[in-house]
Amino acid sequence: MSFSLETWASPKIAQLQQMLLSSFETEESILHQACKYPLQTGGKRIRPLFLLATMEALGEELSQDAYICATALELIHTYSLVHDDLPCMDDDDFRRGKPTVHKIYGDGNAVLVGDAILTKAFEILSQCTPTHLPALLACIGKAAGTVGMIGGQALDVGLEGKITDLEQLKQLHSRKTGALICAAIDLATILCSVSEEKQATLHQFGQKIGLAFQLADDILDAEEDAKADGPPSFVKFLGINATAQQAEHLLEESLTLLNSLENPEALRRLALFTVKRDH
């Protein structure tokens, strides 16, 4: 019987969705409704799935802690989109085909919604079993903070100067999107208490697949809409063919790193899906 990524993922996404929404269901309020809105507009749930697939690859049962960490990662990704879409940031009116939070609730409330979702991400971590909590918290905090996602965001908006070469662009994306994807894998290795060597190998996998994900994104963007005045992208620096080649190369390298794992099928397929979205 062949492995279906969809069959593997869908009960996990359902469980995650329930946990994402339950974070804001304790109280009847417009604020809670507003917080649930960006959690209900779809999304591939790539980060949570990477965490769960990595645990499975390591031969471990998917624990409640795994789902809590997966939920926290998706909450952090979601808040970053809510704030990114604000008029004072990227100024996007639509996200996943639906009006963005600030278009519905106003700019000030969208700031609050993002803040609330970010705060909730950390609050729910308190429900993890205490043993791993310090490491989990440190990992997520670092990935989401100024050396990770927010740092990448600052590079993206030009706070640290213009992006003029490929190295800077890699730096930007390894933080802006790579950090949370890498954190998904790192969190799994923390939860499974693996050896340092295995942790390092999987971290490398996370870095490579995170970059490949961004290259694939740039190719999709370039195919959809080839703006000469758009933001710096790998396609602009390298051309579409070399970008596609590099994504393919990173994918191969990352898959090789999974060879020694116990049960890597889902992780392998998720990596493939991440780079070749038509799969």
Which class for 247: exposed (0-12), middle (13-18), buried (19 or more C-beta within 10 A)? buried
The SS3 call for residue 99 is strand
Residue among 42, 59, 108, 230 that touches a second copy (CB under 8 A): 108
Query: Of 16 and 117, which CB lies nearer to a second copy in the complex structure?
Result: 117
Query: Of 109 and 204, which CB lies nearer to a second copy in the complex structure?
Result: 109
Tell me which stretch binds a second copy (CB under 8 A): 37-45, 124-132, 196-204, 247-255.
124-132
Minimal distance in Å, beta carbon 178 to a second copy?
17
Task: Pick the closest to residue 261 from 185, 207, 158 (CA basis).
Answer: 185
Question: How many chain residues touch a second copy (CB under 8 A)?
Answer: 57
* Residue pair 59/194 in contact by the 8 Å Cβ criterion: no
Residue among 21, 62, 104, 111 that touches a second copy (CB under 8 A): 111
Residues 153-172: x where in contact with a second copy by CB under 8 A, - otherwise, as a string = xx--x-xx------------
Task: Pick the closest to residue 180 from 236, 142, 137 (CA basis).
Answer: 142
> Per residue in 16-52, is it b (16+ CB within 10 Å) or e — as a string?
bbebbeebbeeeeeeebebbbbbbebebebbbbbbbb
Between residue 177 and residue 236, which ones bind a second copy under the rule CB under 8 A? none
Which class for 191: exposed (0-12), middle (13-18), buried (19 or more C-beta within 10 A)? buried
Residue among 122, 203, 231, 265 that touches a second copy (CB under 8 A): 122
Between residue 57 and residue 96, which ones bind a second copy under the rule CB under 8 A? 79-80, 83, 86-89
Does position 238 bind a second copy by CB under 8 A? Answer: no
Query: Of 48 and 151, which CB lies nearer to a second copy in the complex structure?
Result: 151
Query: Of 4 and 126, which CB lies nearer to a second copy in the complex structure?
Result: 126
Task: Pick the closest to residue 176 from 235, 137, 217 (CA basis).
Answer: 217
DSSP H helices, the chain, are 5-22, 30-36, 46-57, 64-84, 101-105, 107-125, 133-144, 149-156, 166-176, 178-191, 196-224, 234-238, 240-256, 265-275
Tell me which stretch binds a second copy (CB under 8 A): 44-52, 109-117, 232-240, 271-279.
109-117
Tell me which stretch binds a second copy (CB under 8 A): 32-40, 193-201, 215-223, 259-267.
32-40
Residue among 70, 116, 244, 258 that touches a second copy (CB under 8 A): 116
Query: Of 59 and 134, which CB lies nearer to a second copy in the complex structure?
Result: 134
Q: Which two tokens stand for residue 10?
A: 């869908």
Residues of this chain that bind a second copy (CB under 8 A): 24, 26-27, 29-32, 34-35, 79-80, 83, 86-89, 105-109, 111-112, 114-116, 118-120, 122-128, 130-131, 133-135, 137-138, 140-142, 144-147, 150-151, 153-154, 157, 159-160
